[in-house]
Amino acid sequence: MNKPRILISNDDGIKSPFLPPFAKALSKIADIEIVVPAREQSWIGRAYNRHEEIFVEELDFYGFKCRTVSGTPSDCVNIALAHLCSQAPDAVVSGLNIGQNIAVPLLWSSGTFAAAVEAAGWGFPAFAFSMKLEKKYYEACRVRHTPPPPELLENLENASAHAAAFIANSLARSDFEDGDILNVNYPAVFSPETPFEYCVPAHAKLSSLYVRNERGNFDFSYAIGETSSPTGQRTDIECLESGHACHSRVNIRRMG
């Protein structure tokens, strides 16, 4: 049986230390192409780079076919599907993101989720994968792009292997309606024994995302306000707080 074809994108960019182990894991179950931002594009949401010329560069990435795009995650997926992919993919996978992507409406601020939305808008099966990170690792991975230390790498490789199996099983079941996105979040500590639950995205009231600094200006400070479950089912927030991995289904055709 031929392997499925998968397009991988992200919002952390080509220098993300999460990208190599994630790509290697997915390459075991699929033929992969990588099209990612040339630099980090976190929290960019569904933005397109309308007012600037976009450049694409090809490079070897651990032996995988890879291109970088001087634009947003949505630009990456749009340009890849229209112009770059040698064949139409069987699915588009965004991730593995440095940090969780949970709760509505904050989920819509995520560049990782936005890449999956772009794919779903084209009618492709779409996945978004994210991993919660202990604070002591966050800046090293996101800002300095340092390789994960052994204890983090083990969790990262476990999550990547699980993601690959989840993708393969989902595609084998043809478990998609037009517009579906499967949004998956892993806790900071993840092993093959970690529970994996279906959930719904929490509904969160927005609160301040900025704090005043010593100069009288404002710095970003991640926060989630009061949350609730729209259906009474367990939410993504509750699952991660329990140390469980979780997956939810979001359909962009049912938003209006």
pLDDT of the residue at 237: 96
pTM, to two decimals: 0.95
Q: Is 225 domain-assigned?
A: no
Within 181-223, residue ranges assigned H as helices are: none
Q: Is 205 domain-assigned?
A: no
Which of 95, 182, 181 is closest to 131 using CA atoms?
Answer: 95
CATH number at residue 108: 3.40.1210.10
Q: What is the largest CA-CA distance in the chain?
A: 61
pLDDT of the residue at 91: 97
Q: Is 218 domain-assigned?
A: no
pLDDT of the residue at 118: 97
User: How many domains would you assign to the chain?
Assistant: 1
Q: Is 215 domain-assigned?
A: no
Q: Is 214 domain-assigned?
A: no
Question: Residue 24 belongs to what domain range?
Answer: 5-199+234-254
Q: Is 219 domain-assigned?
A: no
Low-confidence ranges of the chain (pLDDT < 50): none
Could you report the per-residue pLDDT of 56-113, keeping only the tens digit for each?
999 999 999 999 999 999 999 999 999 999 899 999 999 999 999 999 998 999 999 9
